[in-house]
Amino acid sequence: MMFLLFHLGQDRYVIEASRVIEVLPLVELKRIPQAPRGVAGLFNYRGQPVPAVDLSELTMNRAASECLSTRLIVVAYPDENGRQHPLGLIAERATEIIRRESAQFVEPGLNLGGAPYLGPVLMDGQGVIQWVHEGRLLPDRVRDLLFSENLEGAQSAAALPEPKS
């Protein structure tokens, strides 16, 4: 299985590469006044406005560093009905793909109810890597705000591109 490796602070995380549509350089975002914490704004993705979430702000209460290795990871994000929508994830040091078997990841022994997106962990020579389930990142109210019926027209009825493997 292939995973995209990224960092939140000094810690390493992965998301399943099959869920990634595209990895882009960090682009300028249109800020959204009074947006929930972590919602960084909107960006133009192939002519369509797509929301972006800053993973550092969402998880650590600080904005991601604007470095050359900070990327905008476009993923397929499910709404409450299971329909897939593009969502940008701003992540630091998102420049490496790793290959691991899913069975190599083990449950960490912690149950953090406030972080349902945190999955199993993998130990390697550099420490711990934690699997992030991107489809569980957003609280329901934020997901519904970003992918409500009102936004569907603005986000176009075009089919979502298939994730790259």
**pLDDT by position in tens, the chain (length 165):** 999 999 998 999 999 999 999 999 999 899 988 889 899 999 999 999 999 999 999 888 898 988 888 999 999 998 888 889 999 999 999 989 999 999 999 998 776 667 888 999 999 999 999 999 988 888 888 888 888 754 444 444 334 444 444
Dihedral pair phi/psi, residue 27, rounded to 5°: -110, 165
**Domains along the chain?**
2-151 (2.40.50.180)
Q: What is the pTM (predicted TM-score) of this model?
A: 0.84
pLDDT at residue 74, rounded to an integer? 97
pLDDT at 99: 96
Task: Tell me 104's DSSP state.
Answer: G
* Proportion of the chain in helix, strand, coil states, percent, rounded to 5: 15, 45, 40
> Among candidates 19, 11, 151, which has minimal Cα distance to 89?
19
The closest of 95, 36, 101 to 69, measured between CA atoms, is: 95
The pLDDT value recorded for residue 14 is 97
Instruction: Return the pLDDT at 147.
Output: 84
Length of the chain: 165
Cβ–Cβ < 8 Å for 91, 69: no
Task: Give the integer Cα–Cα distance in Å for 62 and 39.
Answer: 12
